[in-house]
Amino acid sequence: MSIVTKHRLEDMLAATPSRMVVMLYDEAIGALRTSVMAIASGDIECRCNCVTAVLEIVGHLYLCLDEKQGGDVARNLGSIYGHIISRLPMVNLYNDAEVAEEAIGLLEMLRDSWIELDARIADGTADLSVDPAVIAAVNEAQRAEARNG
């Protein structure tokens, strides 16, 4: 299974960094949704390939974090990515669609923040003196606070 399924390689190569992160989230979410369908249909090979693709994508995102520049935000994103990476093997070990759905929920929240950031960059309203990862993570933290209390 190719990790690059939804987006053409040319589009990915021409994308801004924030758009590339959105594309990676889209790919991971799509693969997780396919893994849920594979669980329902009993397709072990497809489920395994999808989970492996998601682990590669989230692992890449994790390895690209810069704690020196991103500080607490990068550490928090690292915690979320680490949580996803630690839980995904359960999808394969126990044929557990709930773990995949949990990861989809987390990745969708993060993707939405990056979509907002990408739009702000495109229309010129983003403060580019700050790392885009920091902006997206702060937006996500604000949304989480609003949901929790």
127: which residues sit within 8 A by CB, 6+ positions away?
A: 135
* Residue 4 included in any domain: no
* Residue 2 included in any domain: no
Say what the pLDDT of residue 14 is: 82
- On the question of pLDDT at 1 being above 50, the answer is no
Q: What total number of domains does the chain contain? A: 1
- On the question of pLDDT at 91 being above 50, the answer is yes
103: which residues sit within 8 A by CB, 6+ positions away?
A: 28, 32, 54, 84, 87, 88
Length of the chain: 149
Question: Domain limits at 31?
Answer: 9-148
* Residue 33 included in any domain: yes
Which pTM does this prediction carry? 0.80
CATH code, domain with 107 = 1.20.120.340
In this predicted model, what pLDDT tens digit does every residue of 106-128 receive, in sequence order? 999 999 989 988 888 888 887 66
In this predicted model, what pLDDT tens digit does every residue of 37-57 receive, in sequence order? 999 999 999 999 999 999 999
111: which residues sit within 8 A by CB, 6+ positions away?
A: 22, 25, 26, 29
Q: What is the average per-residue pLDDT within 73-97?
A: 95
* Residue 1 included in any domain: no
